[in-house]
């Protein structure tokens, strides 16, 4: 069963259970997926669905920060609840050590491919390679920090 099908089934389950918070969040997720499909005229695979979930979680985290600054705990709590619903659809995340090890492997492969040592000027090339391999498996902020640390060595 694809991730999109699983999300649709979870929406039906939330409807039957009359879980309005979960249902609303899942509907937002499916609406974002449908919008992407219509805009780009494609059928989304699991990787694209994970990217959408990641994007929605990032939006919720930004909203929590704004609501906290505005002293709106009620709205921040609502966003946090939505994050917990969305996180169910993400694959297991890599730990910081696993991300660092993966980045080192990618940098070594890139150095072999380029035929020279990879330095801080190659940050874009490294990030491009890392994003394709670690998409959905790690938070990109954490990945970026690991790339900077490896390139600084």
CATH number at residue 25: 1.10.1510.10
Question: How many CA within 13 A on the CB side of residue 40?
Answer: 10
Query: Are both 9 and 75 inside the same structural domain?
Result: yes
Please give the pLDDT value at position 141: 81
Distance CA 113, CA 60 (A): 39
- The answer to whether 120 and 144 are in contact (CB under 8 A) is no
Distance CA 45, CA 151 (A): 32
123: tokens are: 């940050």
Answer yes or no: is pLDDT of 114 > 80: no
Residue found under tokens 């659809």? 89
> Mean pLDDT over all residues of the chain?
89
Query: Are both 77 and 126 inside the same structural domain?
Result: no
6-10, 30-34, 39-43, 141-145 — which is least confidently predicted?
A: 141-145
Q: Of 87, 104, 122, at which residue does a domain stop?
A: 87
Average pLDDT on 46-57 reads 89
Q: Of the candidates 113, 106, 100, which has an alpha carbon nearest to the alpha carbon of residue 144?
A: 100
33-47, 64-78, 120-134 — which is least confidently predicted?
A: 120-134
Query: Are both 28 and 68 inside the same structural domain?
Result: yes
9: tokens are: 């089934």
Distance CA 151, CA 104 (A): 9
Predicted TM-score of the model (pTM)? 0.76
Band of residue 112 on the pLDDT scale cut at 50, 70, 90: confident
Total count of domains within the chain: 2
6: tokens are: 């699983």
Percent of the chain with pLDDT over 90: 50
Query: Are both 79 and 111 inside the same structural domain?
Result: no
1-30 pLDDT tens trace: 788 999 999 999 999 999 999 999 999 999
Answer yes or no: is pLDDT of 101 > 80: yes
């Amino acid at each position: 069963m694809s991730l999109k099908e699983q999300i649709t089934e979870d929406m039906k389950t939330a409807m039957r259970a009359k879980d309005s918070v979960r249902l609303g969040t899942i509907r937002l997720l499916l609406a974002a997926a449908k919008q992407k499909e219509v805009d780009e005229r494609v059928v989304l695979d699991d990787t694209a669905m994970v990217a959408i979930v990641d994007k929605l979680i990032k939006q919720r985290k930004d909203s929590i920060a704004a609501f906290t600054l505005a002293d709106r705990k009620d709205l921040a709590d609502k966003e946090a609840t939505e994050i917990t619903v969305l996180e169910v659809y993400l694959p297991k995340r890599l730990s910081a050590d696993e991300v660092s090890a993966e980045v080192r492997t990618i940098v070594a492969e890139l150095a072999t491919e380029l035929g020279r040592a990879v330095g801080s000027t190659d940050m874009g090339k490294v990030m491009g390679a890392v994003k394709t391999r670690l998409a959905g498996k790690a938070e990109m902020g954490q990945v970026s920090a690991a790339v900077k640390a490896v390139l600084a060595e």
